[in-house]
Amino acid sequence: MQLLQGSKADRDTALSAIYKANKAKVCSYILGNNGSEEEAKDIFQETVIAFYENVRNGKFKGDSSISTYLYSIAKFKWLNQIKKNTVRTGHHEKVEVEKFSESPLATLIEGEHKRNVLEVLAQLGSACKELLIENLYHNASMKEIAVSGAYSSEQIVRNKKYKCLQKLKQLINEQPALIEVLKGNG
Amino acid sequence: MDKHHIDIEKYLDGNMTDQETTEFELRVEVDPQLATQMENERNARRLITAAGRLELKTTLDTVDAEMRASQLVTSDQGGKIMPLWMKRALPIAAMAIVFLGLFQLLQTNSMTSSEVYDTYFNVYEAPSALRSTEGNKLVNWEKASQLYAEGNYREAISYFAKSESEVPGYLTEFYKGMSNLSLDGPYYQRAITAFDKVLATDNDYVEQAQWYKAFALFQIQDKEEVTQLLEEIVANKSYNHEKAAALLEVKLKE
pLDDT digits (tens, 9 = 90+) for A113-137: 888 888 899 889 888 999 999 999 9
- β-bridge pairing B250-252 and B109-111: parallel
Q: pLDDT band at B153, cuts 50/70/90?
A: very high
CB-CB: which of A108, A122, A172 is closest to B44? A172
Q: Kindly report the CATH number assigned to the domain that includes residue B196.
A: 1.25.40.10
Averaged pLDDT score across all residues of chain B: 85
Residues of B with CB under 8 A from a CB of A: 1, 5, 40-57, 59-61, 63-64, 66-67, 113, 185, 187-189, 192-193, 217, 219-222, 254
Could you confirm whether domain A111-185 is CATH 3.30.930?
no
B129 and B48 share one domain? no
Q: pLDDT band at A98, cuts 50/70/90?
A: very low
pLDDT digits (tens, 9 = 90+) for A155-165: 999 999 999 99
B142 and B226 share one domain? yes
User: Which residue in A34, A4, A3, A40 sits closest to A22, CA to CA?
Assistant: A40
B134 and B237 share one domain? yes
Residue with the bigger pLDDT between A73 and A5: it is A73
Q: Where in chain A are the domains?
A: 3-88, 111-185
Q: Name the percent of chain A lying above pLDDT 90.
A: 50
A118·B221 Cβ contact <8 A: yes
- Here the ipTM equals 0.88
Averaged pLDDT score across all residues of chain A: 84
CB-CB: which of B40, B42, B60 is closest to A48? B60
Q: pLDDT band at B51, cuts 50/70/90?
A: very high
Quote the domain boundaries for residue B161: 116-252
Which residues does chain A have within 8 Å of residue B64's beta carbon, measured at their own beta carbons? Answer: 19, 23, 41, 45
Contacts 24+ apart (CB under 8 A), A134-139: A134/A8, A135/A161, A136/B45, A136/B48, A136/B49, A136/B52, A137/B48, A137/B49, A137/B51, A137/B52, A137/B53, A137/B55, A138/A8, A138/A11, A138/A56, A138/B52, A139/A5, A139/A56
Strands (E) located in B75-232: 109-111
| Res. A99: pLDDT tops 60 | no
| Res. B33: pLDDT tops 60 | yes
Supply φ then ψ for residue B250, to 5 degrees: -90, 135
| Res. A180: pLDDT tops 90 | no
Residues 6+ apart with CB under 8 A from B144: B156, B159, B160, B162, B163, B172, B175
Q: Name the percent of chain B lying above pLDDT 90.
A: 50
pLDDT digits (tens, 9 = 90+) for B188-224: 988 999 999 999 999 889 999 999 999 999 988 887 7
Q: Give domain status of residue B89, yes or no.
A: no
pLDDT digits (tens, 9 = 90+) for A143-154: 989 888 778 889
| Res. B96: pLDDT tops 70 | no
Q: Give domain status of residue B90, yes or no.
A: no
Which residues does chain B have within 8 Å of residue A182's beta carbon, measured at their own beta carbons? Answer: 43, 46-47, 50
B134 and B248 share one domain? yes
| Res. A95: pLDDT tops 50 | no
B230 and B123 share one domain? yes
- Name the domain boundary from B80, B108, B132: B80
Is the distance from CB of A122 to CB of B188 less than 8 angstroms? Answer: yes
Residue with the bigger pLDDT between A74 and A115: it is A74
Tell me the DSSP string of chain A. Answer: -TGGGS-HHHHHHHHHHHHHHHHHHHHHHHHTTT--HHHHHHHHHHHHHHHHHHHHTT---SSS-HHHHHHHHHHHHHHHHHHHHHHHTT----------SS-PPP----HHHHHHHHHHHHHH-HHHHHHHIIIIIS---HHHHHHTSS-SSHHHHHHHHHHHHHHHHHHHHT-HHHHHHHHHH-
Supply φ then ψ for residue B60, to 5 degrees: -65, -35
